[in-house]
């Protein structure tokens, strides 16, 4: 399987090179949402791109409307729509990872996530997936650490993981899952170290050769203020710190009646704003946009900014 995937990757890259050299490559006509990274130079760092992402990527279920569901698309559907940043929340139970949003089990395990991701990468070997992995809810029934369970998963397909502590160029990341680690590790390197993730704010993490700036204010008392934070990050990503990775969460929840969390109260306001922004701002680097209820149209607008100068 690995040899076939590698052969596909070589053939895809060679085809792009030949067409480009011959002046026959019309990038805007050629790329699709499922293979858009294949039309970008492998010498570009992931820090130089505009990338669609999803918040709580596996959260498709909720017992009460508005309190837990964050996506309508499955992981596979998200990837085919153009998403390349996944936010995976794992509850460590009985030495395996169950996908949760807070206390709510999402009828999915980490094996299901990996099956979707590796299947996608095998079909689209020019792409990479940035995966942030975070422990979620309470642990139960384990005889090993979170890291040791992760290692067991990773050992099933070690060639599919990029675990350097530095943010890679695209050429090194193609066909792989780039790990953003939000859990402690005893054996290093084990991915991009994001264990300094601050709570409900905007902050900077120094990791290896790069800084990561993250806007993740998820408690949203005022939608307009939250949108101002998102816009500020877009403007900074476009004009400053070219070697930094910007991760911009447009997601969050608002407390109705001061108590009940409502995700859709925020997403119904934010998602049209994102579409309007990228309809007007069609050129530049805007970092990773992390969305609730991502769809193909919004992803397409973000992806298009990578090809504005082609």
- Mind listing the pLDDT tens digit of every residue in the chain (310 residues)? 445 555 555 555 555 544 443 334 455 568 999 999 999 999 999 999 999 999 999 999 999 899 999 999 999 999 999 999 999 999 999 999 999 999 999 999 999 999 999 999 999 999 999 999 999 999 999 999 999 999 999 999 999 999 999 999 999 999 999 999 999 999 999 999 999 999 999 999 998 778 999 999 999 999 999 999 999 999 999 999 999 999 999 999 998 877 788 999 999 999 999 999 999 999 999 999 999 999 999 999 999 999 987 6
**How many Å apart are CA 26 and CA 128, to the nearest integer?**
22
**How many Å apart are CA 299 and CA 296, to the nearest integer?**
5
Q: Tokens representing 158?
A: 């070690």
pTM: predicted TM-score of the whole model, two decimal places: 0.91
**How many Å apart are CA 114 and CA 224, to the nearest integer?**
36
CATH superfamily membership of 2-307: Phosphatidylinositol (PI) phosphodiesterase (3.20.20.190)
Cβ atoms of residues 138 and 90 within 8 Å: no
- Per DSSP, which regions of the chain are E strands? 50-54, 85-93, 96-101, 104-109, 129-135, 161-162, 177-181, 192-193, 202-207, 210-215, 245-249, 254-256, 260-262, 287-291
Query: What are the structural domain ranges in the chain?
Result: 2-307
Cβ atoms of residues 102 and 218 within 8 Å: no
């Amino acid at each position: 399987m690995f040899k076939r995937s590698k052969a596909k990757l070589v053939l895809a890259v060679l085809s792009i090179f030949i067409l480009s050299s011959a002046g026959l490559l019309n990038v805007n006509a050629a790329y699709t949402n499922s293979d858009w990274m294949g039309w970008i130079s492998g010498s570009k760092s992931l820090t130089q791109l505009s990338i669609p992402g999803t918040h709580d990527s596996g959260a498709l279920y909720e017992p009460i409307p508005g309190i837990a569901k964050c996506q309508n698309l499955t992981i596979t559907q998200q990837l085919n729509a153009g998403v390349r940043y996944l936010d995976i929340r794992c509850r460590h139970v009985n030495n395996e990872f169950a996908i949760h949003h807070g206390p709510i089990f999402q009828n999915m395990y980490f094996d299901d996530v990996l099956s979707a991701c590796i299947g996608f990468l095998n079909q689209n070997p020019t792409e990479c997936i940035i995966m942030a992995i975070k422990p979620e809810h309470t642990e139960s029934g384990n005889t090993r650490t979170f890291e040791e369970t992760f290692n067991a998963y990773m050992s099933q397909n070690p060639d599919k993981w990029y675990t350097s502590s530095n943010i890679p160029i695209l050429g090194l990341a193609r066909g792989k899952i780039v790990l953003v680690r939000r859990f402690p590790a005893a054996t290093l390197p084990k991915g991009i170290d994001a264990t300094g993730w601050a709570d409900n704010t905007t902050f900077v993490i120094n990791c290896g050769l790069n800084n990561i700036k993250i806007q993740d204010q998820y408690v949203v008392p005022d939608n307009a203020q939250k949108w101002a934070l998102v816009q500020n990050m877009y403007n900074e990503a476009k004009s400053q710190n070219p070697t930094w990775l910007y991760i911009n969460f447009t997601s969050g929840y608002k407390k109705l009646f001061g108590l009940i969390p409502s995700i859709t109260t925020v997403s119904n306001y934010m998602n049209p704003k994102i579409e309007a922004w990228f309809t007007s701002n069609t050129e530049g680097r805007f970092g990773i946009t992390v969305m609730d209820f991502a769809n193909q149209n919004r992803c397409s607008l973000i992806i298009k900014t990578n090809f504005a100068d082609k």
